[in-house]
């Protein structure tokens, strides 16, 4: 009896959000398509068949610019608008940001750029005396707070346990839709090669001077070999709520 290796489990169901349209087009392309059909009909009635062909060719070019997208899912129209906006910003000198008393921001303050210009930062202390901040968006009435979490790694963990963790993570994301007052939630994972500096500091502080040389040699070998190929993982959870928390309401 031969045992077959189980197929690796894949996690799918990912799809890009699409606006409703005709024949898979987005909303803007569908509106342009309907408008082009109407224009071509009137052109045929008023100018004849050749004029209609010329108008249809022009409409097809415009529609192709709207439909064709690059690898970043941006249409030709969006790329043209972004390029024109950037050129206007360069002409006006607004592509540079400089705050402070000698800067270009209003009132000579240290304002943040863009959408963060109207935000307010509130600082509080928790029950353990640790400082934390709440970001307020007065124009929307939203409050944002960021949590730093320490996820467990997958090293020396069975595959079944990893699948269970992924399933629980999916359940958490599903329940966020029923969270009262929640506007948005985002999880950011930052990975970078681990230099091993934290491990060295952690081990060196705990080496006993009277320990056997074999134990010391083993710890030194761990400090040199363990960081190879290891990654430093940092995870933050951004929570945006429409209701002010108890701290901000006071």
Q: Per the confidence metrics, is the pTM higher than 0.85?
A: no
Q: Residue 105: what pLDDT?
A: 65
Buried-exposed string 162-194: b where 16+ CB fall within 10 A, e elsewhere? eeeeeeeeeeeeeeeeeeeeebeeeeeeeeeeb
Count of C-beta atoms within a 10 Å radius of residue 21? 14
CA–CA distances in Å: residue 27 to residues 19, 23, 33, 184, 186: 6, 11, 10, 24, 27
CA–CA distances in Å: residue 133 to residues 55, 125, 144, 176, 250: 58, 9, 9, 22, 15
Tens place of pLDDT per residue across the chain (250 aa): 455 666 667 776 677 767 777 776 777 788 888 888 899 898 888 888 888 899 999 988 888 888 888 888 788 878 888 889 889 888 887 777 777 777 766 666 677 777 777 888 888 888 888 888 888 888 888 888 888 888 777 666 788 888 888 888 888 888 888 888 888 888 898 888 877 787 788 888 888 888 888 888 888 888 887 776 667 788 898 888 887 655 554 5
Q: Residue 104: what pLDDT?
A: 67
72: nearest Cα among 59, 82, 62: 82
- Domain spans of the chain? 15-96, 109-194+229-250
């Amino acid at each position: 009896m031969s045992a077959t290796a189980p197929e690796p489990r894949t996690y799918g169901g990912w799809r890009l959000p699409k606006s409703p349209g005709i024949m898979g087009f987005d909303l803007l392309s569908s509106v342009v398509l309907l408008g082009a059909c109407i224009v071509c009909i009137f052109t045929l009635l008023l100018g004849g068949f050749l004029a209609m062909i010329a108008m249809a060719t022009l409409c097809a070019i415009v529609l192709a610019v709207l439909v064709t997208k690059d690898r970043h899912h941006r249409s030709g129209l969006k790329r043209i608008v972004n390029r024109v906006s950037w050129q206007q910003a360069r002409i006006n000198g607004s592509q540079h940001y400089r705050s402070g008393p000698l800067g270009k921001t209003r009132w000579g303050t240290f304002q943040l750029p863009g959408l963060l210009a109207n935000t307010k930062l509130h600082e509080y202390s928790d029950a353990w005396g640790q400082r934390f901040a709440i970001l307020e968006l007065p124009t929307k009435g939203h409050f944002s707070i960021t949590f730093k979490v320490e996820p467990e790694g997958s090293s020396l963990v069975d595959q079944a346990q990893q699948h269970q963790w992924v399933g629980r993570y999916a359940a958490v994301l599903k329940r966020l839709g029923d969270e009262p007052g929640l506007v948005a939630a985002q999880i950011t994972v930052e990975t970078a090669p681990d230099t091993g500096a934290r491990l060295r500091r952690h081990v060196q502080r705990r080496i006993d001077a009277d320990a056997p040389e074999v134990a010391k040699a083993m710890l030194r070998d761990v400090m040199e070999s363990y960081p190879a190929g290891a990654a430093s993982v940092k995870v933050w959870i951004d929570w945006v709520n429409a209701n002010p928390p108890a701290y901000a309401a006071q």
